[in-house]
Amino acid sequence: METLAPERILGGRYRLRRELARGGMAAVWEAEDKVLTRRVAIKVLHPHLAGDDAFRTRFRREAVAAAKLAHPHIVTTYDTGRDGDFAYIVMELVEGTTLARLLKNDGPMPVAKVVDVGVQVADALACAHTHGVVHRDVKPANILLREDGHVKVADFGIAKAGMGGDLTRTGVVMGTAKYLSPEQVSDNPADAGSDIYALGIVLYEMLSGAPPFIGDTELSTAVARLTAAPGSLRNRRPDIPRSLEAVVLRCLARDPVARYRSAEELRASLLAVDSDNDDVTPPAGVSVAASASRVGRPHLLVGAVVTFLFLLMAAVVMSGSGGGESPSKGSRKGSLAAPAGALAAPKALAAHSFDPFGDDKVENQAAAGHVSDGDPNTAWKTSSYQDNFPKFKQGVGVYVDLGRNQKVRGVSVNATPGYTAEIFVADRPGTDLAGWGKTRSAGGTSTFDLGGVTGRYVLVWFTSLPQLEGGYRAEVSEIAIDAA
Residues belonging to the active site: 137
Closest C-alpha to 362, from 156, 146, 154, 153: 146
Q: What DSSP element (H or E) covers 271?
A: helix 263-271
Alpha-helical segments (H) within 68-136 = 99-106, 111-130
* Amino acid sitting at position 441: S
The DSSP 8-state label assigned to residue 114 in this structure reads H
Pick from 132, 125, 356: nearest CA to 263 = 125
Closest CA to 458 of 398, 392, 376, 388: 398
- Alpha-carbon distance of 51 to 85, in angstroms, equals 7
d(CA 175, CA 198): 12
Between helix 99-106 and helix 192-208 the angle, nearest 10°, is 20
User: What does the DSSP assignment read for 365-402?
Assistant: GGGGGGGGSS-TT--EEPPPBSS-TTTS-S-EEEEEEE
Name the strands in the sheet holding 14-22, side by side, starting at the edge strand that comes first in the sequence.
Answer: 9-10, 14-22, 26-33, 38-45, 86-92, 77-83
DSSP conformation class of 464:
E
Long-range (24+ apart) CB contacts under 8 A made by 338-342 are 338/481, 338/482, 338/483, 338/484, 339/484, 340/484, 341/484, 342/317, 342/318, 342/482, 342/484
